[in-house]
Amino acid sequence: MTLSTAQLDELSQRTLAHYEQRAEDFFAGTREHDVSQNINALLRYIEAEAPFAILDFGCGPGRDLKVFRELGHIAVGLEGAASFVEMARTYSGCEVWQQDFFKLDLPHDYFDGVYANASLFHVPSQALPHVLKQLHATLKPNGVFFSSNPRGNNEEGWNRDRYGAYHDLTSWRGYLTAAGFDELTHYYRPPGLPMDQQPWLASVWRKRA
């Protein structure tokens, strides 16, 4: 099914409303999650001289944004939910842009790394190529892109007022390759468990020259 612009807007607003209504509980429930594996996966492949300019795409309340700042990098958050934007600014001390994923306004060739942790799965497959091309464009030459999303068998739809698209590795590779990225590595999370107990697919990519 092809979604109209109005339907995409409605999808975005409904998903954001879900987070607005649960912002405090979401922050309390995720603040202590250990995603250092993901943060390190992005940083190890960036070839620029530190400090790095990093975009935390879908930064939520600012947990990982704060870590990037404490590591000495110049981190900027991007978030659609107004409550999360304010939380992230206060918690991290970083600049945070409030932007809808479907209406991005990003500078070109600006960031050394883009970090999209548990955010891009809210983008329907129809809109994903456009969003990925914008993230590709905002990276500097040879910049690095990280993503982590709940994986699936390429199904998508509503889950408790949140829209989600759940890709397998083959599908995800297809989208990223078409957008101009070369794969560096991928892995499943949480670490140390059988694959059927690892619901997250993480991958790292370099902007193709």
| pLDDT tens-digit readout, 82-138 | 999 999 999 999 999 999 999 999 999 999 999 999 999 999 999 999 999 999 999
Give the mean model confidence (pLDDT) for residues 42-52: 97
* pLDDT of amino acid 1: 67
* pLDDT of amino acid 185: 98
For residue 179 the two structure tokens come to 């957008």
Q: Which residue has the higher pLDDT, 49 or 160?
A: 49
Q: Which fold has domain 5-29+40-207?
A: Rossmann fold (3.40.50)
What is the rounded distance in angstroms from the CA atom of residue 95 to the CA atom of residue 92?
9
Give the mean model confidence (pLDDT) for residues 45-61: 98
| pLDDT tens-digit readout, 184-208 | 999 999 999 999 999 999 999 999 9
What is the rounded distance in angstroms from the CA atom of residue 59 to the CA atom of residue 75?
10
